[in-house]
């Protein structure tokens, strides 16, 4: 176990020591929050590097150039940029990126850059903002983890298969039940157009379409479910609607620098619109709430580690990185017993299917 010493290495906003240059002033004039300037840089980087590589793959270029571009595209897409882009899309879904007068630019990430990462246009927004947060992993949440044994690879496989093959169907059914037709249309439209585009482009150049769109799509769907599973793997069956007891927080990890403090999943569910740079401060400020609610905090690992350790039933490694806030536990054995109790399958029939916000 680890003891929280008050030290957090995760990114926070620091006012620039020097005056902005002309380019920075121009960029800040476009966006709603100057703290999101790194998003502008990342968007430009993707536009100038990843998008040209995608275009090259559809051109009649020499074989050596095609394969060089294909390998570079896969490496950059899936190893360098996927996490950063995915969580930038997440942040800009919760907080509008560009100012109202430049509102048309808000379509650039979901409609132009997003498909390169296998993100079908506007389905992420519809699912995450329109369904996941309002339902907070409760039974009406179509991506809820409650009904699964959350340290079982077999159960995760069922969860993943359900999302991959039926996710858009159950999401649209949810919006129909909730009388939210606009979100249903946005989700279905983005998914359908993406698939139709892939089919059409496959007739033009299947190897390019496989490389640019299909492989990133498959990987993204898997990664999103791995993340959601880990984020909501530990649930208190007595209070499953309590965000402190159905989510986790990962602190002091490089992942938070690359993925905009995504590790702070508890505070994200408590305050979904909180800016990504504010989470470390909020964690310190509200630490008594974490202690009072027996919240689960890990130090030095992130969601992929949590998922891997659960799939391998390596509770010893989870306990090693568990932060003993409030000195609640006396040994790793006590922590392991606590964590195992939180991963047990929950009978959703006995849980009221109501939305709740902690």
What pLDDT, on the 0 to 100 scale, is given for residue 70? 98
Structure tokens at 23: 């380019």
The answer on pLDDT for 358 being more than 90 is: no
Structure tokens at 232: 């909501």
Q: Is 80 exposed, middle or buried (0-12, 13-18, 19+ CB in 10 A)?
A: middle
Q: Report angle CA 193, 78, 49 to the nearest 5 degrees.
A: 80
Residue-wise pLDDT for 296-315, tens only, equals: 999 999 999 999 999 999 99
- Using 50, 70 and 90 to split pLDDT, how confident is the model at 349? confident
Measuring CA to CA, which residue among 237, 238, 256 is closest to residue 305? Answer: 256
Lowest mean pLDDT among 23-27, 113-117, 277-281, 353-357: 353-357
State the SS3 of 119-150: CCCCHHHHHHHHHHHHHCCCCCCCCCCCCCCC
Are residues 118 and 164 in contact, defined by beta-carbon separation less than 8 angstroms? no
Cα-Cα-Cα-Cα torsion 25, 29, 31, 33, nearest 10 degrees, comes to: 70
* Average confidence score pLDDT of the chain: 96
Instruction: Name the residue ranges covered by the structural domains of the chain.
Output: 243-350
Residue-wise pLDDT for 54-71, tens only, equals: 999 999 999 999 999 999
Alpha helices in 16-104 (DSSP H): 22-30, 37-45, 51-57, 63-75, 82-94
What pLDDT, on the 0 to 100 scale, is given for residue 218? 97
The answer on pLDDT for 354 being more than 80 is: no
Q: Please, what's the largest Cα pairwise distance for the chain?
A: 65
Are residues 322 and 287 in contact, defined by beta-carbon separation less than 8 angstroms? no
Residue-wise pLDDT for 185-212, tens only, equals: 999 999 999 999 999 999 999 999 999 9
Residue-wise pLDDT for 238-255, tens only, equals: 999 999 999 999 999 999
Q: At what angle do helices 215-231 and 153-177 cross, to 10 degrees?
A: 100
Are residues 175 and 141 in contact, defined by beta-carbon separation less than 8 angstroms? no
Q: Is 308 exposed, middle or buried (0-12, 13-18, 19+ CB in 10 A)?
A: middle
Taking the C-alpha atoms of residue 277 and residue 260, their distance in angstroms, rounded to an integer, is 7
Residues forming a β-bridge with 279: none
What pLDDT, on the 0 to 100 scale, is given for residue 355? 40
């Amino acid at each position: 176990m680890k003891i929280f010493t008050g030290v957090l290495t995760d990114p926070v906003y620091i006012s620039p020591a020097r005056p902005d240059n002309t380019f920075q002033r121009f960029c800040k004039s476009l966006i709603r929050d100057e703290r999101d300037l790194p998003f502008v840089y990342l968007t430009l980087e993707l536009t100038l590097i990843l998008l040209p590589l995608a275009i090259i793959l559809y051109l009649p270029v020499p074989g050596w150039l095609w394969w060089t571009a294909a390998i570079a595209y896969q490496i950059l897409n899936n190893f360098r940029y996927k996490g950063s882009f995915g969580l930038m899309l997440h942040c800009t879904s919760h907080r509008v990126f560009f100012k109202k007068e430049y509102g048309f630019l808000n379509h650039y990430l979901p409609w132009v850059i997003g498909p390169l990462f296998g993100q079908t246009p506007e389905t992420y927004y519809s699912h995450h903002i329109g369904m996941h947060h309002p339902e907070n992993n409760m039974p009406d949440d179509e991506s809820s983890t409650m009904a699964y044994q959350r340290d079982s690879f077999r159960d995760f496989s069922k969860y993943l298969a359900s999302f991959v093959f039926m996710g858009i169907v159950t999401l649209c059914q949810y919006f129909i039940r909730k009388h939210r037709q606009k979100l249903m249309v946005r989700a279905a439209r983005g998914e359908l157009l993406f698939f139709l585009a892939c089919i059409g482009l496959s007739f033009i150049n299947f190897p390019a379409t496989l490389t640019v769109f299909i492989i990133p799509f498959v990987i993204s769907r898997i990664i999103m479910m791995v993340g959601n599973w880990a984020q909501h793997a530990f649930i208190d069956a007595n209070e499953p609607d309590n965000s402190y007891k159905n989510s986790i927080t990962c602190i002091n990890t490089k992942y938070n620098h690359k993925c905009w403090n995504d590790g702070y999943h508890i505070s994200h569910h408590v305050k979904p619109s909180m800016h990504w740079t504010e989470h470390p401060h909020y964690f310190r400020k509200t630490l008594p709430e974490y202690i009072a609610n027996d919240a689960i905090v890990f130090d030095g690992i992130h969601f992929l580690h949590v998922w891997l350790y659960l799939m391998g039933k390596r509770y010893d490694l989870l306990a090693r990185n568990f932060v003993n806030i409030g000195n609640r536990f006396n040994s790793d054995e006590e922590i392991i017993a606590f964590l195992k109790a939180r991963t047990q399958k929950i009978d959703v029939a006995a849980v009221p299917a109501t939305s709740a916000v902690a």
